[in-house]
Amino acid sequence: MAQTARDRLTRLLTDSGAATSDSATVQITATALQLGVDGVGEVRLPARPADVKKLVAVARPAHFGKGEQTLHDPSVRDTWEITPEQVSLGG
């Protein structure tokens, strides 16, 4: 029985003994992405100062650490975070 190209490639990669990983990248212009944030609406990229103020208004201070050692210390991390649930992407 003849092998398909996929079968031959699978056999070659499996028999090589080398560790493999997969990756892919796509580059698009910022205008092709639609970014929405609950409480802000659509955010155009690059973000303008007025949009940044709206984003900070719906964000929370970013904490750092792990478990019971999680802290909020602006002298270490003076930034804000928006939860994934607040964000929608389209395009």
User: How many angstroms separate the CA atoms of 48 and 81, rounded?
Assistant: 17
User: What's the chain's average pLDDT?
Assistant: 86
Sequence-distant (6+) residues with CB within 8 A of 31 are 45
pLDDT in tens, 33-78: 889 999 999 998 888 999 999 999 999 988 888 878 777 888 877 8
Tell me phi and psi for residue 35, to 5 degrees.
-110, 125
